[in-house]
Structure 1
Amino acid sequence: MQVYEIQDQKIPVTILTGFLGAGKTTLLNYILTERHGHRIAVIENEFGEIDVDSDLVLASDEEIFQMKNGCICCFVDVRNDLIQVMKKLLAQKDRFDHVIVETSGLADPTPVATSFFIDPEVTEAVLLDAIVTLVDAKHFGQHLHDKQLDGRENQAVDQVVAADRIIVNKTDLVSEAELDALDADLRELNQTAEILRAQYGKVDLDAILGISGFTPSYVEERAKLLDLDGAHGHHHNHSHDPSVSSVSFTFDRPFDQDRLMAFLKRHLAENAENAFRTKGILWMEGDERFFVLQAVHELIDLRPDHPWRADERRESRIVFIGRQLDRPALEAELRACLSPLEVAA
């Protein structure tokens, strides 16, 4: 991948967005481990009270910053926190030459983008390079036509409308005819963004980094979409679907893997439409490795990762994001899957 010149020595910022389960973390890992010549700082935002995403990002030499106090598209104080994180980064800007802001899966990226126009110090130092939106090829149509979002803003749609680049991910899960139909749906929402196709988040990085989507001539064209005047006044009327929530659990005993998988398959099959996203870092009985859980609707991927470090606390953290979540019932089911053995954490 070619290394591009930074306009006026400003640091380019890429906003990486996409609905729950689209593959943002997979793409981020791909970016961080590819030989592209960049030194990248990452700002993450987590939806849920337990941080799982940062542990899913592979170890690298990059700077990783987490924002755990809310969705950065929704609250003025949290968006101000994003600006403060940027200022801390700028104090050590010799250590990186590109910033990626990974939003939560429920974020509208346009208010996030305005954050880079409202503070003079940040505006002088960074260049908003692009909004890159990932789309889950198998499930996007389900979110696009979600009747329960009728009358509210649909985050999956917001993310596509705002995009400078759209990556249709998980193309191996659908047919060519389904991909063509999806392209048509995306074109109705966004007529100008380049649409790329990917499996496992692998995409030509030249197509998503250093594309100068917010150069001065481009900003004027997109000003209405970004509502820059409103951003200066800190007006933001966006609200998430109130029926969507996250439920998080931490356990200091290992799981019985067979019982846990049986429960997850049954639970996600019975609640496929409402179970948007399930993810976790899990401790399994009789295994020295930690396991990574990723699920999108009823599709489950559970696989071992690296061995636990000697100084690392062994525990399981699991997050469910969806609609009509029953916390007591989920907790009871999960506890029934724990090993009966008393094992010191």
Structure 2
Amino acid sequence: MPIAEQTADPRIPVTVLTGFLGAGKTTLLNHLLTANHGQKIAVIVNEFGEIGIDNQLVVGADEEIFEMNNGCICCTVRGDLIRILSELMAAKQGGGSRKKVNFDRVLIETTGLADPAPVAQTFFVDEHIADFYKLDAIVTVVDARHADQHLDEGHEAQEQVAFADVLLVNKVDLVSEEQLAQLEQRLQTMNPLAKLYRTQQSDIDVHKILGINAFDLEQKLELEPGFLEEEHHDHDDEVASLFFRENRPLDLNKLERFLQVWLSEHGADTFRYKGILHIQGVKQRIIFQGIHMLFASTPDKEWKPNETPRSEFVVIGRNLDEAWFRQQFAACIAG
């Protein structure tokens, strides 16, 4: 069954596959490549050189280490990801050194120790990439049997959960129902925005992870108006989420000052944030989302006559000072 065409957006959708070592990413990748979805997929991985797999295009990226945010955070990124995406773009258009290649979407498989942020940020910072590709979703595969150990011992696993739009709890046949329920509660506390599915051998309906517009908040709200209506939970992990809701309009100048302080002082520890904002004097909803210190805000449709305008957004990060955030946000209310 073919994946539904996204006629409103002509860009090539990109899905990022991440997850800790041994979670089942490569099994998921093979499943996606052989599933009956009727599309040709270009795959970017960093474990292989440039080779062909089942007539699909597989390209490899060398890893480089970049120190970002004035030394506050060290990220492992694919240094030539933009180059590879540009070459794929040229190949699809019939230019460059490559022969013309036809593909409908891109899958990026990261290493088990990779922070997904630099990959996702690529689609924010490069204008040509953003014009040709759109980030459809970040899918994180979680090893149900070893997840608690990974989450306890390494910040990489927690960050992979924090950035996810979809969480696949894999290897569910190796743990008890009680263990699964506890793990799912932990994951949902860390990232209440992500869809969560149980899998064995990373086997899942491709329509649940491809073409879902999970990273496009504007389209996501059209499909699921209550997408942001989540409640806050207590937590013990370093990575957790904060949920904000306010019916009173926000003052734009106060909000901009808050954002400046927030991202300059806490941007490195703020992984994902997304929501809608109700700004005083503005008839439209403002879509707001970002990764670390890179964010975008765009006007959406006007509030409906029977709709109560309100701001709702979620912040996911490490060691967030909830009292500080709520105090600062409250100071943004107009009046």
State the TM-score, normalizing by the size of structure 2. 0.59
| Paired positions, count | 217
Q: CA offset at residue 192 of structure 1?
A: 1.7
Partner Cα separation in structure 2 for residue 2 and residue 69 of structure 1: 34
CA contact (8 A) 2:25 2:109 kept: yes
Matches within 5 A, 1:219-238: 221=275, 223-228=289-294
- Give the match's secondary structure for 2:204: coil
CA contact (8 A) 1:110 1:225 kept: yes
Partner of 1:82: 81
Q: Does 1:142 align with 2:149?
A: yes
Q: Deviations over 1:259-281 (max 9, x none)?
A: xxxxxxxxxxxxxxxxxxxxxxx
Partner of 1:59: 53
Q: CA offset at residue 225 of structure 1?
A: 3.7
Partner of 1:131: 138
Q: Which runs of 4+ in 1 moved over 6 A?
A: 71-77
CA contact (8 A) 1:87 1:122 kept: yes
Q: CA offset at residue 5 of structure 1?
A: 1.5
Q: CA offset at residue 138 of structure 1?
A: 0.2
Paired amino acid for 1:192: L
Q: CA offset at residue 78 of structure 1?
A: 5.2
| C-alpha RMSD over aligned residues | 2.7
Q: Deviations over 1:26-49 (max 9, x none)?
A: 000111111111100000023xxx
Distance 1:41 1:226, change over 3 A: farther
State the TM-score, normalizing by the size of structure 1. 0.58
CA contact (8 A) 2:117 2:163 kept: yes
Partner Cα separation in structure 1 for residue 290 and residue 134 of structure 2: 19
Partner of 2:63: 69
Partner Cα separation in structure 2 for residue 142 and residue 68 of structure 1: 29
Q: Deviations over 1:210-250 (max 9, x none)?
A: 011222626953634443159xxxxxxxxxxxxxxxxxxxx
Paired amino acid for 1:128: L
- Give the match's secondary structure for 2:161: helix
- Give the match's secondary structure for 1:9: coil
Q: Does 1:110 align with 2:109?
A: no
Paired amino acid for 2:117: T
CA contact (8 A) 1:72 1:79 kept: no
Q: Deviations over 1:125-168 (max 9, x none)?
A: 0110000000000000001112xx4xxxx010101111110000
Partner Cα separation in structure 2 for residue 60 and residue 67 of structure 1: 20
Distance 1:113 1:34, change over 3 A: same
Partner Cα separation in structure 2 for residue 25 and residue 129 of structure 1: 19
- Give the match's secondary structure for 2:53: coil
Partner Cα separation in structure 1 for residue 144 and residue 217 of structure 2: 33
Q: Could you tell me the percent identity over the aligned residues? A: 44
Distance 1:130 1:71, change over 3 A: farther
Q: CA offset at residue 68 of structure 1?
A: 3.3
Partner of 1:4: 4
Matches within 5 A, 1:81-100: 81-93=80-92, 95-100=102-107
Q: Does 1:180 align with 2:246?
A: no
CA contact (8 A) 1:72 1:107 kept: no
